[in-house]
């Protein structure tokens, strides 16, 4: 069964290690709003949904159950892709190597094995 918004919000918040108060502060909301959303007593406005998604670094589609992956390409990745297309082949190779190095460093920091 697909998860609904309250479940997705709680799951994303907990995955980030945030309390309801922490998330409220990051999203510029009152902690009681987060509690209402997670308990299903209230639904967020679209503006608040965007703020929650940004604060949790997940997509709106994930929060509302339209996507199974928390992170899509997102605006930052889309901008990076557009910029990448404008680089020379040599610069694209350099950037690709740098991205791999940073991903490996992050995997090591988190104790994961790279792919």
In the block, which residue shows the tokens 């589609």?
Answer: 61
CA atoms of 3 and 111, how far apart (whole Å): 29
Question: Are 56 and 37 a contacting pair, CB within 8 Å?
Answer: no
For residue 82, give its domain range: 74-109
Residues 9 and 52 in one domain: yes
Residue 5 confidence (pLDDT) = 94
Closest CA to 87 of 102, 75, 99: 99
In the block, which residue shows the tokens 């992956």?
Answer: 69
Is this structure's pTM higher than 0.85? no
Residue 69 lies in a domain: no
Residue 44 lies in a domain: yes
Residues 91 and 42 in one domain: no
Number of domains in the chain: 2
Residues 46 and 82 in one domain: no
pLDDT in tens, the chain (115 residues): 357 999 999 999 999 999 999 999 999 999 999 999 999 999 999 999 999 999 998 889 889 988 877 775 556 666 777 788 888 999 989 998 998 898 888 888 877 765 5
Residues 79 and 58 in one domain: no
């Amino acid at each position: 069964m697909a998860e609904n918004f309250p479940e997705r919000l709680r799951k994303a918040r907990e995955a980030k290690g945030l309390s309801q108060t922490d998330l409220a502060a990051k999203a510029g909301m009152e902690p009681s709003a987060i509690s209402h959303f997670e308990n299903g007593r209230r639904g967020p406005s679209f503006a608040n949904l965007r703020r929650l998604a940004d604060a949790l670094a997940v997509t709106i589609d994930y929060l509302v159950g339209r996507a199974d992956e928390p992170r899509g390409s997102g605006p930052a990745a889309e901008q990076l892709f557009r910029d990448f297309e404008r680089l020379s082949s040599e610069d694209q190779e350099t950037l690709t190597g740098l991205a791999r190095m940073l991903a490996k460093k992050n995997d090591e920091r988190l104790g994961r094995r790279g792919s």
